[in-house]
A and B are shown apart, each in its own frame.
Chain A
Amino acid sequence: DAKTTQPNSMESNEEEPVHLPCNHSTISGTDYIHWYRQLPSQGPEYVIHGLTSNVNNRMASLAIAEDRKSSTLILHRATLRDAAVYYCIRTSLYGGSQGNLIFGKGTKLSVKP
């Protein structure tokens, strides 16, 4: 049970921003939100993670709703290289079996030139 809900697919144009949504309505106060992506024929790649407040790194931004029941991964300017399956994953702060990455089906992002 991935415990998150994402759209199956999204399309974007190159050099435009992309907002990838994720619902996690049953999230607990100590659950992190992670985003990984998997490019074709490669292993998953870490993108970003957060707990309560918005986060930025060189790859993307993560906006977490105030009630934490949803979040949005923001790619500021999509490139062709960003075409991948994006996974939104909850993990428990306390680790164990709930601290591991449980992958759902993710969102397949297509980027058009």
Chain B
Amino acid sequence: DSGVTQTPKHLITATGQRVTLRCSPRSGDLSVYWYQQSLDQGLQFLIQYYNGEERAKGNILERFSAQQFPDLHSELNLSSLELGDSALYFCASSEVGTSGRDTQYFGPGTRLTVL
């Protein structure tokens, strides 16, 4: 158990809908990261938040947005969903997250299925 929790575990929705994925980092970790894992694209970094502020952006679509709240939990919002958004979404956290030296701890993931 990494100490990172994600809810829900599974999510099934229809095209065009909007969903919110939630992540609680390990106690004391200031950074939260979001990743998408699909069969054809592998594991892709989406976005990082550090202490409430966006720190780094990866291959995140404009239809997707994220935020980190004062209690450090984070939410990933996916809107206008398409079939291709079906994937595993992982959240990770790290103690600081301002250096490539940092270790990231991953949650169990949310499996999103768009029908």
Contacts and interface: CB of A to CB of B under 8 A. Distances in A.
Interface string A76-98: 00000000000100011111111
Size band of the interface chain A makes with B: 20 to 34
A100 B90 contact: no
Interface string A37-68: 01000111110010100000000000000000
Interface residues of B, number: 28
Contacts of B2: 43, 45
B97 interface: yes
Contacts of A96: 55-56
A48 B35 CA distance: 20
B105 A46 contact: yes
Interface string A90-110: 011111111111111100000
Interface in B80-112: 90, 92, 97-109
Interface of A: 31-32, 34, 36, 38, 42-46, 49, 51, 87, 91-105
Interface of B: 2, 4, 33, 35, 42-45, 48, 55-58, 90, 92, 97-109
